[in-house]
Amino acid sequence: MSFHTNTAKNILSNARYPTGTCRVCGHKLFDRPLLKLENMPAAAQFLPDFTSLAHDRGTDLEIWQCSTCGLVQLDIEPVPYYREVVRATAFSDEMKKFRITQFKRLVQRHSLKGKKVLEIGCGCGEYSEIMMQSGMNIYGIEYSEDAVKECIRKGLNVSQAFIENSSNILDSAPFNMFFMLNFLEHLPNPNLTLEGIYNNLANDATGIIEVPNFDMILQRNLFTEFIPDHLCYFTNETLCTTLALNGFEVVECNEIWHGYILSAFVRKAPETGKKKTVDIKTINTLDLSHFEKLRDELKGKIDKYISRFRPGKVAIWGAGHQALAIIALTNLSKKIRYVIDSAPFKQGKYTPATHIPVMSPDTLKTDKVDAVIVMAASYSDEVAQIIRQKFDKDINVSILRGLDLEDIP
């Protein structure tokens, strides 16, 4: 499967609205950022190894909001690998079970058995495999050459590609349905990719678009969710606006996966029904100034917890973007022995900006610690259960839930 180009459309693949304007509606951002975060990891994936530590630096993030459509976003260049999908969630049994149930229900509800379905940004095929097993005739596109090779090794119909703009038409198009799972928030030009997806779909095709849930981030004061990899932070309202702008009717949009994900089920609208503008309305700028106070409070709680144990005898489980941000924002680099993560591609590396070694779970057997702080977001209970079942029963286990540490008996 590969691209052919519709030469009637001439859209530059790197086009985006000018700096200081919204990535989606093109209107001005508010004059001041909502929040500034200093010395943050410069990227959440591809952690530095020993040879690159000397060149790894933290970065300062400014969080902005559009004055017209309200979308919260970063006004920076994307990380170099933004076209590639890296999924550490593939190592969670709970997530696998969730996706199996989700995809089976979709196949039954929408008669997708044997239908042509496209996954955009399929990584190493973690979800495409489950879709295929659910009865879909699944096609996948992924930008990473190594990931594509892994998909082909698994017997999946995957090609190396990225839908950069509306003129990128896949040879296997049109498709009856598509999936775009936790990928849209990475894109510097969301409109161009969504227009390209629209043009690869059959009339009345449907799709699932999922993004991190910014409504939940606001409700739970999760200031650690801001990372350079995620350029857009969608609420239910701003996600629906973005999709409507690009020709998709939002049938329903629900919170899933412990509230961490917004999942929009969409239908391709007729060309005449595509909405090209955003209604200008009064947007009240968000107030995130309290996030700085909450950061200081969290630092105090973590420091107090660590002080209960011998120096250098506390580990963190989780090298996801939330944990990496917390480690940086609360200055834990000299207080944590190591960070544990189940994803092999992270092991043997170091946390960005803070340079703590990332180790495999088996390290808990060979380099014992007194306590483990679990910072694995929606996977934290699953991780705590693994620690209790497989490792020393005397290890003190706590879970970071929002802004509080909960001891696990």
- Please state the domain extents for the chain: 3-8+77-273, 290-408
CATH architecture of 290-408: 3-Layer(aba) Sandwich (3.40)
Name residue 341's amino acid.
D
Spatial separation of the C-alpha atoms in residues 3 and 165, rounded to whole Å: 11
Angstrom CA distances, 208 to 76, 95, 251, stand at: 27, 17, 10
pTM: 0.86
Q: What is the pLDDT of residues 215-236, one digit of tens each?
A: 999 999 988 899 999 999 999 9
Residue 244 structure tokens: 């409507």
What superfamily in CATH does domain 3-8+77-273 come from? Vaccinia Virus protein VP39 (3.40.50.150)
pLDDT given at position 368:
96
What region does 67 belong to: left with phi over 0, alpha with psi -120 to 50, or beta?
alpha
| 24-38: average pLDDT | 94
| 160-189: average pLDDT | 95
pLDDT at 274 over 80: no
Q: What is the pLDDT of residues 112-130, one digit of tens each?
A: 998 999 999 999 999 999 9
Q: What is the pLDDT of residues 287-309, one digit of tens each?
A: 998 998 999 999 999 999 999 99
Residue 273: pLDDT band (50, 70, 90) is low
pLDDT given at position 3:
40
Buried-exposed string 18-47: b where 16+ CB fall within 10 A, e elsewhere? eeebbbbbbbebeeebbbebeebbbbbbbb
pLDDT given at position 275:
61
Same topology, domains 3-8+77-273 and 290-408? Answer is: yes
| 161-186: average pLDDT | 95
Residue 128 structure tokens: 């495409």
What is the arrangement of strands in the sheet containing 59-65, beginning at the earlier edge strand? 35-40, 59-65, 72-74, 232-233
pLDDT given at position 8:
30
pLDDT given at position 172:
93
Residue 334: pLDDT band (50, 70, 90) is very high
- Strand, helix or coil at 308? coil
pLDDT given at position 279:
67
Higher pLDDT, 351 or 273: 351
| 175-193: average pLDDT | 97
Q: What is the pLDDT of residues 95-112, one digit of tens each?
A: 999 999 999 999 999 999
Q: What is the pLDDT of residues 60-97, one digit of tens each?
A: 999 999 999 999 999 999 999 999 998 866 567 889 99
